[in-house]
Amino acid sequence: MQKAIELSLKGSSEGKGGPFGAVIVKDGKIVGQGHNNVLNSNDPTAHAEIVAIRDACKNLGTFQLSDCELYTSCEPCPMCLGAIYWARPKKVYYANTREDAAEIGFDDAFIYDEIPLPISERKIQMIPLGREEAQKAFKFWVEKQDKTLY
Ligand SMILES: [Zn+2]
């Protein structure tokens, strides 16, 4: 966690993004790390946890972090929470809370509020389009014999 906090200070003091850092550990060793890099990379998805997950997956040559633990300097936002579930680490340690983050201007409560809403009531319009055509790829996937399940 000390390293994750150091990264949160380093990234934000260098102007790379907000004060958030994350580290991924496997068998007691750091296998991935990152800090928020939204401003530096013009990437709204470059949150510390996402950057660290990508780094760990690259270093380990895998798309799942099943035997890993994630240390993040702040409770994950909904996007990172989703990414963490997809990456499947066994445990997440967090330091600052999302209420702490809201107090310094990083309020993700509106996203948590959007998730349970019916699609038609969300602030960003979500419009059904082309389902029949898109089903072709799903049908292909169901019938594909040599697929990797995850
Ligand atoms: Zn996030």
The domain that contains 113 carries what CATH number? 3.40.140.10
Q: Is residue 149 part of a domain?
A: no
Which domain does 85 fall in, by range? 1-143
Q: What pLDDT was estimated at residue 149?
A: 86
Q: How far apart are CA 19 and CA 23, in angstroms?
A: 14
Q: Is residue 148 part of a domain?
A: no
Q: At what angle do helices 48-60 and 2-13 cross, to 10 degrees?
A: 120
Select from 48, 8, 40 the least CA-distant residue to 24.
48
Residues lining ligand 1 (ion), CB within 5 A?
Answer: 47, 77, 79-80
Q: How far apart are CA 68 and CA 24, in angstroms?
A: 7
- Assign 30 to helix, strand or coil: strand
Cα(48) to ligand 1 centroid in Å equals 7
Q: What pLDDT was estimated at residue 85?
A: 98
Q: What does DSSP assign to residue 123?
A: S
Residues sharing a CB contact under 8 Å with residue 107, sequence separation 6 or more, in sequence order: 101
Which regions in the chain score pLDDT beneath 50? none
* Catalytic one of 49, 69, 75, 143: 49
Cα(50) to ligand 1 centroid in Å equals 7
Q: What pLDDT was estimated at residue 93?
A: 98
Q: Is residue 150 part of a domain?
A: no
